[in-house]
């Protein structure tokens, strides 16, 4: 073979080798992209609480759309793996990635707080949920699901404390950084000896954690001070009479339609839903005339006789008005992105309203009780009872929110630094507050800037203690309502049709669906040693 032929042969072999290398690179790139796409779909399945088997349905839809839009790319879409088993493993990987991001954030926290609550799932397993809220030196707030721990036996304080410790250990949360723990106020949480609170203080003596009872739970419990049961029972019985009988319910709905009512039905009462009573009362109040007409037409006037009793209607109107005021408070406290001082401000305002209501009722002024005001000639004895009810409710608010009253000064320093009496605060803050209150430029900035931005702008040399105090307050949980929201997601995710979902996978789903972090897809792909395509 001549030298020329040898060169030609070598060049030919090099071209073939290069072609094969390009082919394998292309195949590998397609498979990597398919894996990336698979992670994106799986993340959205978990984020939106869809079933594991929905991955196969999504793939089927993608392939059919591909046939219409880009048939030449169908093979690429075919390599996107979305089988049930693949979806499960991808969810586990995404969960680990989000947990890793949270661990990194926790390492930057100056202060953090824990909100915790427990509830049973469809299999009667008690699930303990812990949320963590932390703030770093730049006042960046992170609020995430720390962990979900399953309690297989009893839910005594010792078992809750054990799971709490293990959960914090897994995430490497320094106990010294915890400035607040908020619970639902159950005895197993707040017991001073064998409850979670007692065990925490015994195991971590000298800790600076402030224990708070969820304000929304407290607000709901304050309603127990009202003698509302007779009226509530009568309203619930009336609603059940209408809705529990199929024929009566259909006839009632048709009747409302025939009279062109604004509403199409009455609402069921659900005791565990805090806003339920007011919604039920309000709907029955709006439909009371239609309900009376309906039962008279059916010649069943005994079913609604209380709606024609002025004495009973007075009580019904009063409680409907009061529950409306209380629900407005409850909704305000459920708002997002609120600091603990904002929540406390809502509560203080409501206590002032109760005093106002009490004084006005004593003067027969029904300005803020529009429904009661519509009842002709409410007798004075009734009004005196309502006034006493306002006083009892105010006393109950004072009693139940003592833990917030105890930190009133701490909250005032954060909320209105320029109006606080320097002699009434901790010694380590007095000199800095003196300097702050004497600076007119900073006072103007405080009025014009969001709170966190103001504290972030302060000199770390001159106001280090004030900055630290602001970080501590901004990290606090005022309620465990966020846990209640997760329990709603848990019941949606693990229900009668999906009761075999393991506790570990349930925890993964809850983390993904609640997390503010986005999966780091590049990191997830790096963890794959090789890419495989399947159905």
User: The tokens of 317 are what?
Assistant: 């109107």
Give the SS3 label for residue 455: helix
Q: 78 and 38 in contact (C-beta within 8 Å)? A: no
For residue 457, the model assigns a pLDDT of 94
For residue 283, the model assigns a pLDDT of 92
For residue 24, the model assigns a pLDDT of 37
Interacting residues of 310 by C-beta distance below 8 A, sequence separation 6+: 375, 376
Give 410's DSSP letter: H
How many CA atoms lie within 13 Å of 315's alpha carbon, on the beta-carbon side? 19
For residue 300, the model assigns a pLDDT of 84
Looking at the structure, give the CATH architecture of the domain made up of residues 92-213+479-527: 2-Layer Sandwich (3.30)
For residue 20, the model assigns a pLDDT of 47
For residue 363, the model assigns a pLDDT of 93
Helices 229-243 and 310-333: angle between axes, nearest 10 degrees? 90
Distance, in Å, from the CA atom of 442 to the CA atom of 453, rounded to the nearest integer, reads: 12
Q: How far, in Å, are 28, 32, 261, 526, 532 from residue 529 at the CA level? A: 12, 11, 65, 7, 10
Torsion from C-alpha of 421, 422, 425, 429, nearest 10 degrees:
150
Q: 39 and 94 in contact (C-beta within 8 Å)? A: yes
Residues paired with 142 in a beta bridge: 134
Give the SS3 label for residue 151: strand
pTM for the whole structure? 0.85
For residue 21, the model assigns a pLDDT of 41
Backbone phi, psi, residue 297, to 5°: -65, -35
Q: How far, in Å, are 61, 67, 204 from residue 74 at the CA level? A: 12, 7, 60
Helices 464-474 and 427-437: angle between axes, nearest 10 degrees? 100
Interacting residues of 117 by C-beta distance below 8 A, sequence separation 6+: 128, 129, 183, 184, 214, 480, 483, 484, 487
User: The tokens of 449 are what?
Assistant: 């800037």
Q: 33 and 79 in contact (C-beta within 8 Å)? A: no
Residue of 103, 105, 113, 173 lying closest to 137 (CA atoms): 105
Placement of tokens 């109040």 in the chain: 285
User: The tokens of 35 are what?
Assistant: 């894996």
Q: Where are the domains of the chain?
A: 3-91, 92-213+479-527, 222-404, 417-475
Give 519's DSSP letter: P
Give the SS3 label for residue 470: helix
Interacting residues of 270 by C-beta distance below 8 A, sequence separation 6+: 276
Mean pLDDT, consecutive 10-residue stretches, the chain (535 aa), reads: 63 54 49 90 93 91 91 87 92 96 96 93 91 95 95 90 93 93 87 90 90 75 77 90 89 88 83 74 92 88 87 93 90 82 92 94 93 89 92 88 90 94 93 95 94 94 96 91 88 80 92 95 80 53
How many CA atoms lie within 13 Å of 516's alpha carbon, on the beta-carbon side? 10
Specify the length of the chain in residues.
Answer: 535
Distance, in Å, from the CA atom of 270 to the CA atom of 394, rounded to the nearest integer, reads: 25
| Other beta carbons less than 10 A from residue 447's beta carbon | 9
Residues paired with 130 in a beta bridge: 116, 147
Burial of 518 (0-12, 13-18, 19+ CB in 10 A): exposed
Interacting residues of 406 by C-beta distance below 8 A, sequence separation 6+: none
Distance, in Å, from the CA atom of 142 to the CA atom of 450, rounded to the nearest integer, reads: 18
For residue 202, the model assigns a pLDDT of 93
For residue 22, the model assigns a pLDDT of 42
Residue of 114, 55, 99, 90 lying closest to 511 (CA atoms): 99
């Amino acid at each position: 073979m001549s030298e020329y032929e040898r060169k030609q042969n070598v060049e030919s072999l090099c071209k073939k080798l290069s072609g094969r290398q390009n082919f394998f690179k292309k195949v590998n790139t397609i498979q990597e992209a398919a894996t990336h796409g698979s992670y994106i779909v799986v993340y959205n399945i978990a984020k939106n609480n869809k079933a594991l088997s929905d991955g196969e349905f999504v793939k089927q839809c993608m392939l059919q759309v591909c046939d219409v839009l880009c048939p030449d790319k169908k093979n690429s879409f075919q390599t996107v793996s979305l089988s049930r088993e693949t979806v499960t493993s991808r969810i586990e990987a995404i969960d680990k990635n989000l947990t890793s991001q949270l661990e990194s954030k926790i390492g930057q926290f100056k202060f953090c707080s824990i909100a915790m609550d427990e509830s049973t799932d469809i299999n009667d397993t008690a699930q303990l949920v812990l949320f963590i809220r932390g703030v770093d030196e730049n006042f960046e707030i992170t609020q995430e699901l720390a962990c979900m721990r399953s309690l297989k036996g009893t839910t005594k304080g010792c078992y809750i404390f054990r799971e709490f410790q293990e959960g914090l250990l897994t995430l490497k949360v320094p106990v010294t950084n915890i400035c607040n723990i908020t619970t639902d106020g159950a005895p197993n949480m707040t017991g001073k000896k064998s409850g979670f609170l007692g065990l925490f203080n015994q195991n971590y003596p000298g800790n600076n954690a402030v224990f708070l009872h969820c304000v929304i739970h407290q607000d709901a419990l304050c309603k127990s001070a009202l003698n509302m049961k007779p009226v509530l029972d009568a309203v619930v019985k009336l609603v059940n009479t209408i809705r529990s009988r199929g024929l009566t319910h259909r006839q009632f709905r048709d009747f409302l339609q025939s009279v062109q009512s604004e509403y199409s039905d009455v609402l069921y009462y659900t005791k565990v839903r805090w806003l339920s009573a007011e919604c039920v009362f309000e709907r029955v109040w709006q439909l009371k005339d239609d309900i009376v007409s309906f039962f008279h037409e059916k010649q069943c006037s005994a079913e609604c006789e209380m709606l024609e009793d002025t004495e009973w209607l007075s009580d019904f109107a009063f409680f409907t008005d009061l529950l409306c005021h209380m629900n407005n408070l409850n909704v305000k406290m459920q708002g997002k992105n609120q600091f603990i001082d904002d929540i406390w401000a809502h509560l203080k305002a409501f206590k002032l309203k109760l005093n106002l209501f009490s004084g006005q009722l004593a003067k027969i002024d029904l300005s803020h009780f529009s429904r009661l005001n519509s009842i002709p000639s409410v007798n004075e004895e009734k009004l005196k009872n309502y006034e006493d009810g306002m006083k009892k409710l105010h006393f109950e608010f004072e009693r139940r929110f003592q833990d917030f009253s105890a930190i009133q000064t701490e909250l005032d320093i954060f909320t209105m630094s320029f109006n606080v009496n320097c002699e009434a605060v901790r010694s380590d803050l007095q000199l800095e507050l003196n300097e702050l209150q004497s600076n007119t430029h900073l006072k103007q900035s405080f009025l014009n800037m969001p709170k966190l931005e103001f504290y972030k702008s302060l000199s770390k040399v001159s106001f280090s203690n004030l900055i630290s105090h602001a970080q501590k307050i901004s990290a606090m949980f005022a309620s465990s309502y966020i846990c209640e929201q997760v329990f709603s997601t848990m019941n949606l995710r693990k229900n009668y049709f999906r009761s075999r979902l393991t506790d570990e996978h349930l925890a993964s789903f809850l983390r993904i669906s609640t997390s503010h972090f986005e999966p780091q897809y590049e990191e997830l792909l790096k963890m794959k040693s090789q890419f495989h395509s399947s159905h």
